């Protein structure tokens, strides 16, 4: 049985605020008080609670920087919560940053082995999947060459082929379908649909709101590391679209107001025309 239980989880990163300082500032502040470049706290996630079980298909939406990918990395075990708890039961397959981590000096075949082991495969289970991965990648003889010579598209093809051979109970997806040319994307989408239907539990981040509505039975809208709304995909997407439209209208009005001449300027312009 697959499940996700997140209770009051927060993730805070510490970063150094870097700025140029004069010699005087360094001598007065940096040398004696060491506050030239102070550290700042970045609250990536704040008080997140989420419960999911077998059969759930959860879509996560929001603007860039809302914390969506950080949430997936929390569920994948890449990040541990600064506060709160996160418990995920079941085998996990994470489809994000899939092209990261290749051994550049190793061949395509060797990278298939390395990355598959990282995904939990054993020599026995991988033996029957090597040819399938190679065939799906469509890289042919290029698999005998070091991946440092691969194009970005070739690396994505290989990474996607390896990552999607798993049969996970919990599937975590973050916008991974921009791989290869149009023909390969059709194959990739078919593979993804198969994984989504076979996995017991799925959490997917996407900017494609129609995909969220068509694929998921639950949706979460995030903003600045917090959950704004949870509910049915139809309701959450509608609320998100209204918010986007309101912000766009406000921004347009602000730009329009800034570009219109002020009354005094308009009067001066009119007087200049008369003169």
How many Cα atoms occupy the beta-carbon half-sphere of 37 within 13 Å? 9
Q: How far apart are CA 255 and CA 249, in angstroms?
A: 10
Backbone angles phi, psi at 243, to 5 degrees: -65, -40
- State both tokens at 17: 């605020």
Place of tokens 């981590």: 101
pTM (predicted TM-score): 0.77
Residue ranges of domains in the chain: 3-236
- State both tokens at 162: 């390896």
226-247 burial, b at 16+ Cβ within 10 Å, e below that, comes to bbbeeeebeebbeebeeeeeee
Place of tokens 């209204």: 242
CATH 3.90.1170.50 matches 3-236? no
DSSP state of 138: T
Place of tokens 């986007």: 244
Radius of gyration of the chain (CA): 25
DSSP state of 207: S
List per-residue pLDDT tens for the chain, 275 residues long. Answer: 899 999 999 999 987 766 666 666 666 665 555 555 667 888 999 999 999 999 999 999 999 999 999 999 999 999 999 999 999 999 888 887 776 778 999 999 999 999 888 877 889 989 889 999 999 999 999 999 999 999 988 988 898 899 888 788 999 988 766 566 778 878 888 888 888 888 899 999 999 899 899 889 999 999 999 999 999 999 999 999 999 999 899 888 888 888 776 666 656 666 666 55
């Amino acid at each position: 049985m697959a499940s996700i239980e997140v209770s009051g989880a927060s993730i805070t990163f510490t970063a150094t605020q870097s700025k140029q300082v004069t010699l005087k500032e360094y001598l007065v502040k940096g040398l004696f008080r060491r506050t030239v470049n102070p550290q700042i706290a970045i609250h990536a996630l704040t008080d997140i609670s989420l419960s999911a079980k077998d059969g759930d298909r959860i879509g996560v939406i929001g603007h860039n920087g809302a914390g969506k990918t950080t949430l997936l990395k929390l569920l994948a075990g890449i990040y541990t919560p600064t506060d709160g708890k996160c418990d995920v039961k079941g085998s996990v397959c994470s489809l994000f940053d899939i092209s990261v981590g290749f051994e550049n000096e190793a061949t395509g075949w060797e990278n298939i082995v390395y990355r598959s082991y990282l995904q939990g495969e054993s020599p026995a289970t991988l033996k029957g999947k090597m040819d399938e991965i190679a065939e799906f990648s469509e890289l042919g003889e290029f698999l005998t060459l070091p991946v440092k010579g691969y194009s970005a598209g070739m690396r994505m093809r290989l990474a996607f082929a390896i990552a999607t051979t798993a049969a996970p109970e919990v599937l975590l997806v973050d916008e991974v379908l921009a791989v290869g040319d149009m023909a390969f994307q059709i194959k990739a989408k078919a593979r993804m649909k198969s994984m989504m239907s076979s996995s017991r539990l799925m959490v997917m981040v996407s900017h494609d709101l129609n995909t969220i509505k068509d694929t998921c039975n639950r949706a979460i809208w995030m903003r600045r590391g917090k959950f704004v709304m949870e509910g049915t995909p139809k309701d959450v997407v509608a609320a998100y679209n209204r918010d986007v439209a309101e912000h766009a209208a406000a921004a347009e009005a602000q730009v329009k107001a800034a570009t219109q001449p002020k009354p005094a300027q308009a009067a001066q312009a009119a007087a200049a025309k008369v003169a």
